[in-house]
Structure 1
């Protein structure tokens, strides 16, 4: 079993280091896409850990924009270009953290080889709040003055947009773990379908549905498990999930998920230390999905 972890990060080198050290195991590797707005010289020391690489084709990431899809694609491409036979690619943010030890993570994927772990819902039927992301024009990726005024005007004049290539749109959570052949399929589809790339550029929050949609409409659909193996708490409301604290100890203790998000080392280091000490390692055997 060999896993390539791709981390999308933009700040806090100390927390990123802690995440990297928790992930590195056996022949696994960590690839880091650092937002191009961040000074990379504060992070390059992480390469000394070993099997840690920075994505060279960096992107300036804007929240909710297509740029985060570009950053992810660039990371996937660098992993594929190595020619290393990774079994799985695991997409994480810099504020994620494993709940299980690396050997437990390996055991789980060894038992579930070939399965695709993503969270997804049909947008038109179940995740209807996301419909406007694809039916309306969004200029989030652009920076010219008055772009949102123009966006409103365009959406009043032009008809509703529809997904190209008769794709059924699905999505939900951005983060996932999938077999490497799925990554190659995603890259191939992205390269070979310029109309899809153009369409996605004018959507909002595409990172939460692009990759699920590609695989859902592919031969890999039968291998998809509707579970991204992450514990994420949205109970606080708002656009971002809750940051875990010691108050969440029991929820973390009882979870059988492999990873959780999100954490803050500066404000709540104690809960991360508890995980490191093994007190939150799930005592139940991880079983096949």
Structure 2
């Protein structure tokens, strides 16, 4: 079971090193995208960790824009160009951390081979707050002076937007684990249908549903599991999940998830130590 981990990161090199080391496995490689706004030299220590590669085509990532999608697509391209026949591509952020040893993670995906693990809630039926992302124009992706006022004018004058090609929009969390054929399909689909890319570039936070939507409207739909295997706590009702602490250890241990999001060693370094302790004793049932 060969896995390519994509890690999207922009800060905290020490924490990123710990994540890369936790993922170490003979059949795993980590492809790390460092936000192009950051100096890559700060992350040079990662080059000494086995099986770590930097994504060469870096982009400046802006929260809520298409840049997050592009960073992921660039990683897809590099992984496929490597010629290595990975079974899975696993998308993580630099603030994620495995709740299991690498061997456990590989065994898990071997047992569920061919499944796509991602959240794909219907925007119209279950994720109503995302409807304006689809129906309105958003200029977050463009560096235009006065763009938010322009957005208001455009949305008053233009008709309600509709998904191209009759796509049924689904999604929620951007983090996922999918097979190599699924990633290859996404790249080919966007290459063959540039109007889909144009649509999502005018969408707020397209990273949270572009990948799911493409696969949901394809032959991969039957293999999709509506679970991204990440533990996230949304109890604070903020745009991002709560930063986890040692107080969350019981919930993490009982979650059945493979990864925790999100963690910060500057907030609570003991949390990662505790995770390492209980993950060491977990075995595949």
Distance 1:94 1:223 in 2: 27
- TM-score, normalised on structure 1? 0.96
Residues 56-75 of structure 1 deviation map (CA, whole Å, 9 limit, x = unaligned): 11110100011111111101
Structure 1 residue 50: Cα displacement: 1.5
Q: Contact 1:32 / 1:53 at 8 angstroms: preserved in 2? A: yes
1:201-212 to 2 correspondences below 5 Å: 201-212=201-212
1:225 aligns with 2:225: yes
Equivalent in the alignment of 1:151: 151
Which residue pairs with 1:245 in the alignment? 245
Q: Are positions 1:97 and 2:73 aligned together?
A: no
CA distance in 2, matches of 1:100, 1:207: 26
Question: What is the aligned length?
Answer: 285
Match of 2:57 in 1: 57
- Residue 143 of structure 1 and its aligned partner are, at CA, apart by 1.9
Contact 1:255 1:282 survives alignment (8 Å): no
Paired with 2:177 and 2:248, the residues of 1 have a C-alpha distance of 24
What is the alpha-carbon distance in structure 1 between the residues aligned to residue 58 and residue 284 of structure 2?
39
d(CA) in 1 for partners of 2:132 and 2:22?
Answer: 38
Q: What is the Cα deviation at residue 283 of structure 1?
A: 4.2
Instruction: Tell me how far apart the structure 1 counterparts of residues 27 and 103 of structure 2 sit (CA, whole Å).
Output: 12
Quick one: distance in 1 between partners of 2:45 and 2:61?
A: 22
The runs of 5 or more residues in structure 1 that have no matched partner are: none
Q: Corresponding residue for 1:13?
A: 13
Residue 111 of structure 2 is matched in structure 1 by 111
Map of 1:75 onto structure 2 = 75
Report runs of 4+ in structure 1 exceeding 2 Å deviation. Answer: 278-286
Shift, 1:111, TM fit = 0.5
1:30 and 1:156 map into 2 onto residues whose CA distance is 45
Structure 1 Cα separation of the partners of residues 178 and 282 of structure 2: 25
Residue by residue over 1:74-122, the C-alpha shift from the partner in whole angstroms, topping out at 9 and shown as x without a partner, is 0111101101000000000000000011111111111101011011101
The alignment status of 1:25 with 2:25, answered yes or no, reads: yes
Shift of 1:45: 2.3
1:191 aligns with 2:191: yes
Partner Cα distance (1:172, 1:285) in 2: 28
* Unpaired segments ≥5 residues, structure 2: none
Deviation (angstroms), 1:24: 1.3
Check conservation: 1:253, 1:281, Cα contact below 8 A. Answer: no
TM (normalized to structure 2)? 0.98
